[in-house]
Amino acid sequence: MDIIVDVHSHFYPKAFVQKLQEIGTLNLQGNTAILTWEGRKSAAGIGIVNIEAKLKEIKRMDNRVYSILSVPNPWTYFIRDKKEEIEIAKKCNEEISSIMRSYPSYFGGFATLPLNDIEASMEEAERAIKELNLQGFVIGTGINGSTIADDKYKELLDLISRLGKPILLHPGTLKTGENEGVLSVIASFPFETTYVILKMIKNWRDGIKIIAPHGGGFIPYQLGRVNLLKEVFNYTEDKPWNIIKKGVYFDSVLYREEELSFLVGSVGKERVLFGTDHPFTVSNPSLMMNNVNKIDHEIRDYIMFKNALEIIKIHL
Q: Are 269 and 261 in contact (CB under 8 A)?
A: no
**pLDDT tens column, 148-199:** 999 999 999 999 999 999 999 999 999 888 889 999 999 999 999 999 999 9
Q: Where are the domains of the chain?
A: 4-312
Reported in sequence order, the residue ranges of the chain that DSSP labels E, i.e. its strands, are 4-10, 26-29, 32-37, 40-45, 65-70, 107-109, 137-140, 167-170, 210-212, 248-251, 272-273
Positive or negative, the CA dihedral 180, 184, 190, 194 is positive
- 3-state secondary structure string across 29-94: ECCEEEEEECCEEEEEEHHHCCHHHHHHHHHHHCCCEEEEEECCCCCCCCCCCHHHHHHHHHHHHH
- What is the pTM (predicted TM-score) of this model? 0.97
Whole-number mean pLDDT of the chain? 96
Question: What is the mean predicted confidence (pLDDT) over 295-315?
Answer: 93
Please check whether the domain covering 4-312 is classified as CATH 3.20.20.140.
Answer: yes
**pLDDT tens column, 60-95:** 999 999 999 999 999 999 999 999 999 999 999 999
pLDDT at 316: 72
pLDDT at 1: 59
**pLDDT tens column, 189-245:** 999 999 999 999 999 999 999 999 999 999 999 999 999 999 999 999 999 999 999
